[in-house]
Chain A
Amino acid sequence: MVAVYWKEAEIKVVNISIDGVMIQVKEGSSILKAAELSGRKIPTLCYLEGVSDIGSCRLCVVEVEGMEQLVTSCNTKVMEGMAIQTESGKVIQARKMALNLILSNHEYDCNHCAKNGDCQLQSYSLEYGVTESTYSGTRRNIHSQDVDSHPFLSYNPKLCIQCQRCVNTCLKVAGRRAITSGKAGTFTVINAPFGNEWKSTICESCGNCARACPTGALMVKRRKDYESWEVKKVLTTCAHCGTGCQYSLIIKDNKIVDTKAEQGPANKGRLCVKGRSGSFDFVHSKERLQYPLIKNKITGEFERASWEEALNMVATKFMEIKKNYGPDALAGFACSRSPNEDVYLMQKLVRTCFGTNNIDNCARVCHSASVTGLSMTLGSGAMTNPIQDITSDVDCILLVGANPEEAHPVIGMQIRNAVEKGARLIVVDPRDIGLSKQADIHLKLKPGTNVAFTNGMMHQILEEGLEDKEFIKTRTEGFDVLAEIVKEYTPERVGKICHIEPEKLKEAARMYATAKKAPIIYCLGVTEHSTGTEGVMSISNLAMMVGKLGRAGCGVNPLRGQNNVQGACDMGAMPGDYPGYQKVNHPAVREKFEKAWGVSLNPEPGLRSTDVFPAAIEGNIKGLFIYGEDPVVSDPDTKHVIKALESLDFLVVEELFMTETAKLADVILPGRSYAEKEGTFTNTERRVQRVRKAVELDHETRLDTDILIDLMNRMGYPQPQVCASEIMEEIALVTPSYGGISHERLDAGETLQWPCTDKEHPGTPIMHAGRFTRGLGWFFPSEYKTSAELPDDEYPFIMMTGRILAHYNTRAMTGKTPGLMEIEGTSFIEINHQDAKALGIINGDKVMVTSRRGTIKTTARVSNKVSKSECWMPFHFPDGNPNWITNAALDEYARIPEYKVTAVKIMKEE
């Protein structure tokens, strides 16, 4: 009998026998894979699928008829007629000998090892009855001490079996090469970068190596806190950046003690340091708000309140303001870290109870330009292609104003993998970021000159006739106007504006235009400008001009910053849009929502969050409900923000922690974190993924949806009590692009990218294929305009702000993980060494950075990362937060602030 495990007409199959059973397998399969298909389990130690098949442990050996030697099944391909024995006497003896030799250099004190019960070596030792070695290994004598100075990771050489899984994982999965083989030959050891010098290594602390270790040699230190049989796992989505890594929270006694990477479509088993090590300490932080607080008007101190008191006060106060000043005197900010279900209810509350469209989310200050810009040109403001698609089989990546290695580390890893495999890389960034070292071309352009850059690219493409004429003709409109504009953007002129070499610009244009598959990946370096939306549209022009939209390996791909900032926008936490970008000012749409929600709705688009602050100062906004945001820290010109919040009659903050913004509140409602609730996040590639409850804490905190439902009812809207999955059903009902999405489908293992319009719809990995959401793509003609605040004699430097690997935005979450604070715990400013010399500043000096809005103190880091007359600061740290001095100059279309260009002066602190 011939069992067929694999057969398809166009792919060749070979006939082999495994342990006497004839089977057919795909040509090119390894024996290991073939055996797996036929239900044979072959032991492996050094093998990691897709990562490492070096065949060093020799545990997977099998006997092949006619061959004298045993062959390693992991890296030997099947051949026609092969007769394979996977468990012959010779094979078993060989495996026993391999284990015997491996154990000769392994300290087998399993009872004192944290991996006891979860160790592959231990498991095979028991299976093959080789629990002790008859040999004494020579490497025992040369092994050094444990390497464990790193806050999260440690290496115990006595347990290492030299399988190289960690080395290959670092190289091929993380794309890093930070962990390497040391010494050589029989003395081979692993150079684990976790010793005293760990800070000066290139290790990103992601810990993917430790998870690859089959023994207890490389460990995430937290792993030592539990035994494998004491814990349960809950599959969920990481709550940091927009990548949407799938992982499991490991729970022991109702406490999250660790994480485990899962094979999610966006992360493929990877995690970064924040995800692995900094995504749950905050859940159990003692600093969590545990009960409602009401500020005593007289003392100014917060006092503990009951939920009844707090909720009543909130409902009453807001309704009073509505009554006295009208609905548009109220506003709400939704949380882009909270699940879709929470955000949906929040905007519903603002629209139905407040009766206003003054609802926004913090996308306003990061990617509102993308949402607005791409909606205008393409019809949909989201990443067009999946992460996997733009980092696996591509010829060239055009990376503009993005530093994914720090801000989206798992995407950064995959870009490194793509470059390692041969994709060309063009980096357009004012700084020497990590990826610029791997870039074929690095255009180190002057901040704020993106439109000139893209116009220059398009000029050159047209000059050389590299545009996609057919695409332009059939799929777009407005080309002629644009072509007229870009005529003036000669490489020479653009070179002068952008401070780049014209030849490099020309080459970049050719390289991008002629590549078969080339995605544009961009981030806040494009959006956070007073011309951010035009920058975004200009990028969409560029991609359309060469027809690189609507197909695999291409597209325009904004990397969204927060875990659910895409979802928060999708859910309608936007002043002009109902869920699914359905326009507030569209009568039929409004009518639909009025019907669905059973109330009449305000027809006027509301204020953007950045416009709410001036409105509050002017007295037009009286009451504000901030759910999970901290604009005092995250928004530009802190003084201005504080003044605005202090001008309000009534401020409610729903939070996990006593943030700077919460301190200004009249009432604080303690909500719950992502680990304590059900729901969904929508990641940067429009993929809706489940968030699952992992722990229930002994607090008075309440589910945020329950808080919102209670408030809605108290404010007079009859919102039924619903759970997260029921809310998603309502979302699907009113949101065409989410029409087919439900918790049920996701729990059944489906992975869905919107648009997903009905229950049968498989989701849409690549947008705009064949037709733009808008119909025809629109070439939006943009001219280069200078930034709002240019350097002058008094403020001669351009200051940019940005993120670093170890922290996430306001640090409210990552700051609760001591290890992350150990990696990077204080504010700093990057200064070019020429400027530093002129200012008499050396590396490590305390400096004062002053803009027209104030002065902050920080520490100088002198290098060549930034160009002369430019400087850069992270915005995570309270000791010198640049947002005290950034400029709240807003973009015309999306009202996004110009974080990336502030004119400052720098002085050494006396």
Chain B
Amino acid sequence: MSKYKLEQPGNQNEKLQLLYNKFKQKIESYPVGVCPLTVQMSLLQTSKNQTCGKCVPCRDGLVQLEKLLQEIIDGNGTKNTLRELKVLAEYIRDNADCAIGYEPADSMLKGMELFKEEYLNHIIMHVCGEEIQQKVPCIAMCPSHVDIPGYLALIGEEDYAGAVNLIRKENPFPTACAMICEHPCEEHCRRSMIDSPLNIRGLKKFAVDQMAADLVPVPEVNVATGRKIAVVGGGPSGMTAAYFLALMGHKVIIYEENVKLGGMLRYGIPNYRFPKDRLDEDIRAILSTGNIDVKYNVTVGKEIAIQELYDNYDAVYIAIGAQAAKKLSLEGTNSSNVFSAVDMLRGVGYGNLPDYSGKRVVVIGGGNVAMDCARTAIRCKAEEVTIVYRRRQEDMTALATEVEGAIREGVELVTLQAPLRIEADDSGTCTALWIQPQIIGTYDRNGRPRPVNAKKSPNKIPCDIILIAIGQDIESEPFEQFGIPVDGNCFITTNQCEVKVKPGIFAGGDCVTGPATVIKAVGAGKTAAYAIDEYLGYHHKIISEVRIPDARPNHRMPTGRVNFTEREARVRKLDFLPVENEMSFEEAMQETSRCLRCDHYGCGVLEGGRD
């Protein structure tokens, strides 16, 4: 018989691949709130089972490491066990031959450091820490803790108003989140164990497409408390705080520097992703509480001092977002036709569309804002649009779907190229961007690979417009002067949004976290509202009577996830109409039927319901 043979279908490796895939799903759907020691154990056991059996540290060491960890998990460990664990793990890390051995040992050690308290809990108290408990994954992952299984069930019953109401119990921006939420709720969806996570954002969009948010009455507003609260900034965070404070019966005054409410939702996100008339649905609903006044075109810190608000209101919520474009220190940035992405998008938000006809546009950056910029430039009739990015495509912080959308619409990605300088003509108008080739290097502390100069000769991209989208800063200066502490340009608050040194001052959203997602801003606004209510000495409740349908038995048959379809790129790039097509009724019903109702099955019913 000859030495080689072809692998037959159904061979061992193919069969194993089925298990590997299952395993991948199991990891993707790893429940939230589990004991970190047991996650380490899973990792360790997996590693142990991956050993080829050649070397002592891995083959015989991981087994013993597992035993020691099990001792601790079982509550039989002592500080000595912990020491032994560390010594053995260090030995394996330093002595194992290949990554199957040294990587898990290293993870073990890092985990021991990261979860030090949890280890001590197990050793001293022999139990998990108080915070350790499994939760309904989608609700737990949502920064606003929206009752997702509840509203999916309502959609399944075709009760779209009920769905909107249930969402709004935690999040007054159902439409915004339906359009542009990054949906962390889907990340640990238990459905992944069977097939794929639910398309939660898609179903939410289906709900608000059927029943506009402003057509669903808001809950009954509490009687007036006589308290006055100032909210600085009418973006998603400020509006959310205002909504909940208003429902509690407080009077809210929003100071908004623009002519309209919505913040970045209006002045940062282009219409093809989120049409402004849809934003208005959420805003109208919020304002329908009747307790909110808005002062437009007022910039706090300029037209009105912060101290004045502090003196005149019972509490102040600062939610000014991150509005200032980060500057690129580059030769030639002062040339004309070099703009910040934020400024460009704000102009578009105001309805001033630039005309890029016949222009070559370069966008610098790899985040969502860069994509928004590039795709807007396409729609402004640019002849060519190029995105220049220092790292690789997979390192971009923009959502993969946004990057793909941009590419489809004709945006050219030039990756692993760092901007070097901007070339301008005699009149000072930019004519080209010089870029320096990079190689991708070692990982930084945040786990992203660093670009390093590849020492190749620079390249030139001739262009007429340069848009810089490398991030935003907070315009914090007047607030700092007022006495709000700042760390790296962000305000410092407690997890209740309090600014400790200024009782009564609260802050949240992008100005605390740095540029982040709308749902995080919403979460902060809600947290601040409840914290302010407590600060004022109340424990107001929001009354929202929505009956959640009973859970049906799980639909276990693996079923494909319904994704959005999009309008053809060649058509959509000519206008600012929404890119996504609407989900059909049949699609929506099939998709909701996949929900495993983790609020009812499994840990979701423990202790009166967990979120």
Beta-carbon contact of A58 and B56 below 8 Å: yes
Q: Is B496 an interface residue (CB 8 A)?
A: no
Beta-carbon contact of B95 and A56 below 8 Å: no
Q: Please name all residues of chain A whose beta carbon is closer than 8 Å to the beta carbon of B49 when the two chains form the complex.
A: 185-186
Most buried by A among B61, B62, B93, B95: B95
Beta-carbon contact of A101 and B60 below 8 Å: yes
Q: How far is the CA of A104 from the CA of B68 in the complex (A)?
A: 14
Within 8 A of B (CB), among A80-120: 90, 93-94, 97-98, 101-102, 104-105
Partner of A57, one of B50, B56, B88: B56
Q: If A69-B102, A70-B95 touch, does A138 touch B56 (CB 8 Å cutoff)? A: no
Say how far A89's CB is from chain B's closest CB, in angstroms.
13
Partner of A58, one of B48, B57, B67: B57
Say how far A162's CB is from chain B's closest CB, in angstroms.
7
Beta-carbon contact of A56 and B60 below 8 Å: no
Partner of A186, one of B48, B91, B94: B48
Q: Is A658 an interface residue (CB 8 A)?
A: no
Within 8 A of A (CB), among B13-72: 48-57, 59-64, 67
Q: Is B97 an interface residue (CB 8 A)?
A: yes
Q: How far is the CA of A137 from the CA of B61 in the complex (A)?
A: 9
Within 8 A of A (CB), among B510-560: none
Beta-carbon contact of B94 and A188 below 8 Å: no
Q: How far is the CA of A427 from the CA of B133 in the complex (A)?
A: 72
Beta-carbon contact of A138 and B63 below 8 Å: yes
Q: How far is the CA of A181 from the CA of B54 in the complex (A)?
A: 10
Within 8 A of B (CB), among A6-65: 54-58, 61
Beta-carbon contact of B53 and A58 below 8 Å: no
Beta-carbon contact of A135 and B54 below 8 Å: no
Q: How far is the CA of A184 from the CA of B51 in the complex (A)?
A: 8
Most buried by B among A54, A56, A68, A138: A56
Q: How far is the CA of A184 from the CA of B53 in the complex (A)?
A: 6
Partner of B95, one of A94, A105, A183: A94
Q: Please name all residues of chain A whose beta carbon is closer than 8 Å to the beta carbon of B97 when the two chains form the complex.
A: 55-56, 58, 72
Beta-carbon contact of B59 and A162 below 8 Å: yes
Q: Please name all residues of chain A whose beta carbon is closer than 8 Å to the beta carbon of B61 when the two chains form the complex.
A: 97, 101
What string of 1s and 0s marks CB contacts (under 8 Å) between B92-122 and chain A? 0111010000100000000000000000000
Q: Please name all residues of chain B whose beta carbon is closer than 8 Å to the beta carbon of A538 when the two chains form the complex.
A: none
Q: How far is the CA of A756 from the CA of B585 in the complex (A)?
A: 100
Q: Is A164 an interface residue (CB 8 A)?
A: yes
Q: Please name all residues of chain B whose beta carbon is closer than 8 Å to the beta carbon of A186 when the two chains form the complex.
A: 48-49, 51, 53, 59-60, 62-63
Within 8 A of A (CB), among B288-341: none
Interface size bucket, B side? 20 to 34
Q: If A68-B94, A69-B95, A72-B97 touch, does A185 touch B88 (CB 8 Å cutoff)? A: no
Q: Please name all residues of chain A whose beta carbon is closer than 8 Å to the beta carbon of B94 when the two chains form the complex.
A: 68-70, 90, 94
Q: Please name all residues of chain B whose beta carbon is closer than 8 Å to the beta carbon of A184 when the two chains form the complex.
A: 52-53
Q: Which residue of B lies closest to A161 (CB)?
A: B56
Q: Which residue of B lies closest to A101 (CB)?
A: B60
Q: Please name all residues of chain A whose beta carbon is closer than 8 Å to the beta carbon of B88 when the two chains form the complex.
A: 97
Q: How far is the CA of A183 from the CA of B55 in the complex (A)?
A: 15
Q: Is A187 an interface residue (CB 8 A)?
A: yes
Beta-carbon contact of A56 and B48 below 8 Å: no
Beta-carbon contact of A162 and B63 below 8 Å: no
Q: Please name all residues of chain A whose beta carbon is closer than 8 Å to the beta carbon of B48 when the two chains form the complex.
A: 185-186
Q: Please name all residues of chain B whose beta carbon is closer than 8 Å to the beta carbon of A187 when the two chains form the complex.
A: 53
Say how far A731's CB is from chain B's closest CB, in angstroms.
50
Q: Please name all residues of chain A whose beta carbon is closer than 8 Å to the beta carbon of B50 when the two chains form the complex.
A: 185
Q: Please name all residues of chain B whose beta carbon is closer than 8 Å to the beta carbon of A97 when the two chains form the complex.
A: 57, 61, 87-88, 91, 95
Q: Please name all residues of chain A whose beta carbon is closer than 8 Å to the beta carbon of B102 when the two chains form the complex.
A: 69
Most buried by A among B48, B49, B64: B64
Q: How far is the CA of A700 from the CA of B49 in the complex (A)?
A: 66
Q: How far is the CA of A58 from the CA of B92 in the complex (A)?
A: 10
Q: How far is the CA of A93 from the CA of B62 in the complex (A)?
A: 17
Say how far B280's CB is from chain A's closest CB, in angstroms.
58
Partner of A101, one of B53, B64, B87: B64
Most buried by A among B53, B57, B91, B97: B53
Say how far A561's CB is from chain B's closest CB, in angstroms.
33
Say how far B128's CB is from chain A's closest CB, in angstroms.
27
Q: How far is the CA of A333 from the CA of B94 in the complex (A)?
A: 69
Q: Please name all residues of chain B whose beta carbon is closer than 8 Å to the beta carbon of A164 when the two chains form the complex.
A: 54
Q: How far is the CA of A138 from the CA of B61 in the complex (A)?
A: 11
Where chain A touches its partner, the secondary structure class is loop
Q: How far is the CA of A55 from the CA of B96 in the complex (A)?
A: 10
Interface size bucket, A side? 20 to 34
What string of 1s and 0s marks CB contacts (under 8 Å) between B352-369 and chain A? 000000000000000000
Q: If A69-B95, A69-B102, A94-B91 touch, does A56 touch B63 (CB 8 Å cutoff)? A: no
Q: How far is the CA of A719 from the CA of B588 in the complex (A)?
A: 115
Beta-carbon contact of A104 and B64 below 8 Å: yes
Beta-carbon contact of B56 and A102 below 8 Å: yes
Q: If A94-B91, A185-B49 touch, does A56 touch B62 (CB 8 Å cutoff)? A: no
Say how far B62's CB is from chain A's closest CB, in angstroms.
7
Q: How far is the CA of A94 from the CA of B63 in the complex (A)?
A: 17
Within 8 A of B (CB), among A134-174: 135, 137-139, 162, 164
Q: How far is the CA of A90 from the CA of B93 in the complex (A)?
A: 13
Say how far A584's CB is from chain B's closest CB, in angstroms.
54
Say how far B20's CB is from chain A's closest CB, in angstroms.
16
Q: Which residue of B lies closest to A138 (CB)?
A: B63
Q: Which residue of B lies closest to A164 (CB)?
A: B54
What string of 1s and 0s marks CB contacts (under 8 Å) between A185-210 and chain B? 11110000000000000000000000
Most buried by B among A137, A183, A184, A186: A186
Q: Please name all residues of chain A whose beta carbon is closer than 8 Å to the beta carbon of B54 when the two chains form the complex.
A: 54, 56, 162, 164, 188
Partner of B56, one of A69, A93, A101, A185: A101
Q: If A186-B59, A186-B62 touch, does A98 touch B95 (CB 8 Å cutoff)? A: yes
Q: Please name all residues of chain B whose beta carbon is closer than 8 Å to the beta carbon of A68 when the two chains form the complex.
A: 94
Q: Please name all residues of chain A whose beta carbon is closer than 8 Å to the beta carbon of B57 when the two chains form the complex.
A: 58, 97-98, 101
Beta-carbon contact of A69 and B93 below 8 Å: yes
Q: How far is the CA of A853 from the CA of B67 in the complex (A)?
A: 76
Beta-carbon contact of A98 and B53 below 8 Å: no
Q: Please name all residues of chain B whose beta carbon is closer than 8 Å to the beta carbon of A102 when the two chains form the complex.
A: 56, 60
Q: Which residue of B lies closest to A98 (CB)?
A: B56
Q: How far is the CA of A37 from the CA of B300 in the complex (A)?
A: 79
Q: Please name all residues of chain A whose beta carbon is closer than 8 Å to the beta carbon of B60 when the two chains form the complex.
A: 101-102, 104-105, 135, 137, 139, 186
Q: Which residue of A lies closest to B1 (CB)?
A: A437
Q: How far is the CA of A70 from the CA of B60 in the complex (A)?
A: 18
Say how far A137's CB is from chain B's closest CB, in angstroms.
6
Q: How far is the CA of A187 from the CA of B91 in the complex (A)?
A: 21
What string of 1s and 0s marks CB contacts (under 8 Å) between B76-99 and chain A? 000000000001100101110100
Beta-carbon contact of B95 and A188 below 8 Å: no
Beta-carbon contact of A188 and B56 below 8 Å: no
Q: How far is the CA of A37 from the CA of B95 in the complex (A)?
A: 24
Say how far A140's CB is from chain B's closest CB, in angstroms.
11
Q: How far is the CA of A25 from the CA of B55 in the complex (A)?
A: 28
Q: Please name all residues of chain B whose beta carbon is closer than 8 Å to the beta carbon of A56 when the two chains form the complex.
A: 54-56, 97
Partner of B53, one of A93, A104, A185: A185
Please give the residue numbers on chain B whose beta carbons come within 8 Å of chain A beta carbons, in ascending order: 48-57, 59-64, 67, 87-88, 91, 93-95, 97, 102
A-B CB proximity, top 7 nearest: A188-B53, A101-B60, A56-B55, A97-B91, A56-B54, A135-B64, A185-B51
**With A97-B91, A101-B64, A185-B49 given, can you name 16 additional A-B contacts, CB distance below 8 Å?**
A55-B97, A56-B54, A58-B55, A58-B97, A69-B94, A69-B102, A70-B95, A72-B97, A94-B91, A98-B57, A135-B60, A135-B64, A162-B59, A164-B54, A185-B48, A188-B54
29 example contacts (A-B, Cβ-Cβ < 8 A) are as follows A55-B55, A55-B97, A56-B56, A57-B55, A57-B56, A58-B55, A58-B57, A58-B95, A69-B95, A70-B95, A90-B94, A97-B87, A97-B91, A101-B61, A101-B64, A102-B56, A104-B60, A105-B60, A135-B60, A135-B64, A137-B63, A162-B53, A183-B53, A184-B52, A186-B49, A186-B59, A186-B62, A188-B52, A188-B53
